[in-house]
Amino acid sequence: MSKVLIIGAGGVGRVVVYKCAQHPDVFSEILLASRTKSKCDAIAADVKRDTGYQAISTAAVDAENVPELTALIREFQPAMVIHVALPYQDLTIMDACLEAGVHYLDTANYEPKDVAKFEYKWQWAYHDRFKDAGLLAVLGCGFDPGVTSVYTAYAVKHHFDEIHYLDIVDCNAGSHGKAFATNFNPEINIREITQPGKYYENGQWVEIPAHSVMKPLSYPGIGPKNSYLIYHEELESLVKNFPSLKRARFWMTFGDEYLTHLRVIQNIGMSRIDPVMYKGVEVIPLEFLKYVLPDPGELGENYTGETSIGCRIRGIKDGKEKTYYVWNNCSHQAAYEETGAQGVSYTTGVPAMIGAMMMLKGEWTGNGVFNVEQFNPDPFMAQRNVCGLPWHEQFNIDLEF
């Protein structure tokens, strides 16, 4: 039984608190802290009402202020911090965890505010400090990265002697009824998908113009959807941890309407992350845009349809070529009925809770900074089936690649 500090009161934070509250045998007490305390209070009230779990308190914190955060951690004394605020805060939260001597878990790798670039190098550089302090930091424990990384580890452990080709396929076939909205933090989301595409092939990274490669892929229970080759952060750690990979790519579905809006946003300069002067005040267009777009945390009520995210893998078993597809479909409505959040927040928050459970139960151990595919995938995959994200698998099928 352990106390846990959850940082971030957005859609993902909401789901993490609900799911931790459903496992009081593991999470004995929760402190939910974020920049705006009223958002923490609203989530805490909902969780108390819906689950009966009462051991939740809330606090305001600036997660970019290391002394403030360290003091909060020292006062509450949790076993670990689950960080589901924004990637900008990864390093300051890791610093505070080191200062206060607690374990760390997050769902997205660090990004500097002034460059839209995600790489693990900044967080991997903390390995020796966590190791010397006898602490564990688990990186990227949402769905993608997170579950997709565990899927790959599971495939390697149980179904292949060597994996050669990995295609991660991420489909959101949901409909929220808005002309344009992002499914998680708009600023982070738009920074991610407007970058050039990139994939790994024969030991090298190949860069392509954004959204220039498209394939209609068929998703279970959904059907064909236009899927675009984009760069996604788990590719970096997966090719490092599974060096037999000859090629690793990531595909995400986008509708034509969505891409048109995105193009317009870029063309008119609203995706810029450099400051512009407006009436004597510095404004960053993309930061401002966040405040006029729908709040992803409020999309849930009318969201219908499903997400379908999985890994399609080709490799060798007992000298023969083999294919494997492992995936989960998640209903936006079912997620909303359970937690008040839509499916994208749900598919991120549930794995974050399971990852924390793995650490607190001693299933995932170690000193240093690790990506999730470096741990035993089996207990994590087993929990998925009982925690709301069941998975399915097929062998030796046409992977469409």
**CB-CB contact of 344 with 296 (8 Å):** yes
**CB-CB contact of 239 with 198 (8 Å):** no
Among 16, 53, 144, 254, binds ligand NDP (CB under 6 A): 144
Pairing of strands 276-278, 281-283: antiparallel
Is residue 188 a contact point for ligand NDP (CB under 6 A)? yes
Binding mask 108-127 for ligand NDP (x = CB under 6 A): x-------------------
Window 210 to 239, contacts with ligand NDP (CB under 6 A): none
Best CA proximity match to 225, nearest among 197, 191, 253, 259: 253
Per the listing, tokens 């999730």 go with: 372
Among 4, 43, 61, 173, binds ligand NDP (CB under 6 A): 61
CB of 84 to ligand NDP, least distance (A): 5
Is residue 388 a contact point for ligand NDP (CB under 6 A)? no
Is residue 34 a contact point for ligand NDP (CB under 6 A)? yes
Among 110, 124, 154, 184, binds ligand NDP (CB under 6 A): 184
Question: Would you say 64 or 393 has its CB closer to ligand NDP?
Answer: 64
17: CB partners within 8 A, 6+ apart:
6, 30, 32, 43, 44, 47, 56
CB of 78 to ligand NDP, least distance (A): 16
Alpha-carbon 318 to chain mean position: 34
DSSP structure class, residue 294: P
Pairing of strands 162-172, 392-395: unpaired
Among 36, 244, 385, 396, binds ligand NDP (CB under 6 A): 36
Is residue 339 a contact point for ligand NDP (CB under 6 A)? no
Stretch that binds ligand NDP, among 2-10, 115-123, 235-243, 265-273 (CB under 6 A): 2-10
Question: Would you say 87 or 197 has its CB closer to ligand NDP?
Answer: 87
Q: At what angle do helices 234-241 and 147-158 cross, to 10 degrees?
A: 20
Name the maximum alpha-carbon separation found in the chain.
68
Is residue 185 a contact point for ligand NDP (CB under 6 A)? yes
Coil vs helix vs strand at 77: coil
Cis peptide before 145 (omega within 30 of 0): yes
Coil vs helix vs strand at 32: strand
Is residue 95 a contact point for ligand NDP (CB under 6 A)? no
- In the numeric block, which tokens belong to residue 182? 């992002």
- CA 278, 86, 175, 19 dihedral sign is negative
Best CA proximity match to 252, nearest among 235, 264, 239: 235
- In the numeric block, which tokens belong to residue 367? 């000193």
Question: Would you say 142 or 340 has its CB closer to ligand NDP?
Answer: 142
Terminal-to-terminal C-alpha distance of the chain: 46
Is residue 371 a contact point for ligand NDP (CB under 6 A)? no
Is residue 13 a contact point for ligand NDP (CB under 6 A)? yes
Among 6, 11, 44, 370, binds ligand NDP (CB under 6 A): 11
Is residue 62 a contact point for ligand NDP (CB under 6 A)? yes
CB of 52 to ligand NDP, least distance (A): 24
CB of 203 to ligand NDP, least distance (A): 26
DSSP structure class, residue 173: -
Question: Would you say 32 or 133 has its CB closer to ligand NDP?
Answer: 32
Stretch that binds ligand NDP, among 247-255, 257-265, 343-351, 392-400 (CB under 6 A): 343-351
Is residue 199 a contact point for ligand NDP (CB under 6 A)? no
CB of 401 to ligand NDP, least distance (A): 22
Is residue 35 a contact point for ligand NDP (CB under 6 A)? yes
| Alpha carbon distance 110, 40 (integer Å) | 23
Residues in the site for ligand NDP, rule: CB under 6 A? 8-13, 34-36, 39, 61-64, 84-87, 89, 107-108, 142-146, 184-185, 188, 296-297, 344-345, 348
